[in-house]
Amino acid sequence: MKYLVYIFCFAFIFSCNSKEKNENIEENVAGKKVYDMYQPSEMATLMNEMYAENLKIKNEILAGNTPEVFPTDFLKINTAQLSDFKKRNAKFEAFSKLYIVAEQDVFNSESAMPVKDRFNNAVGICISCHQTECTGPIPRIKKLLIK
């Protein structure tokens, strides 16, 4: 047991000494360190933009206004490039089509359903989709719901 503790201590010290090997650092020509920074995928950027736009729509609805112009950038959900480790699948395709229809319905001034319910329906589809694939943003998306 005593030797096992020594081995763990030695491994810990050794790993601390090789810290720079574990970082994603490249030396450029001038000798300065250049860090390999995270670059969000086109889809991640689009989702963040959609969140911001839906937050504006929510605030507009809460102010008593009915949104009038559907943001056509939302249609990019069908073509935006996913992260390298993600693939489009049938569930994603089905949910993205449902989402576009529900989001367009938010802007339908002739609908008999209250705009608050139409908006919450669109947000609910976002949550449902994220429950199947990428669960991380669900708490943030739930903040869009109008109570």
* pLDDT over 90 at 25, yes or no: no
Residue 113 — φ and ψ, nearest 5°? -80, 140
Place of tokens 């903040």: 143
15 is a domain residue: no
Residue 147 lies in a domain: no
- pLDDT 10s digits, 10-22: 444 444 444 444 4
34 or 141, greater pLDDT: 141
Domain that holds residue 72: 42-142
Q: What is the mean pLDDT of residues 124-130?
A: 95
DSSP code of residue 69: S
Q: How many domains does the chain have?
A: 1
Give the Cα separation of 35 and 38 in Å (integer). Answer: 9
On average, the pLDDT of the chain sits at 84
Write the CB contacts of 87 (distance below 8 Å, at least 6 apart in sequence). none
The answer as to whether 37 is a domain residue is no
Judged against a pLDDT cut of 60, whether residue 79 lies above it is answered with yes
- C-alpha dihedral (134, 104, 60, 131), degrees to nearest 10: -20
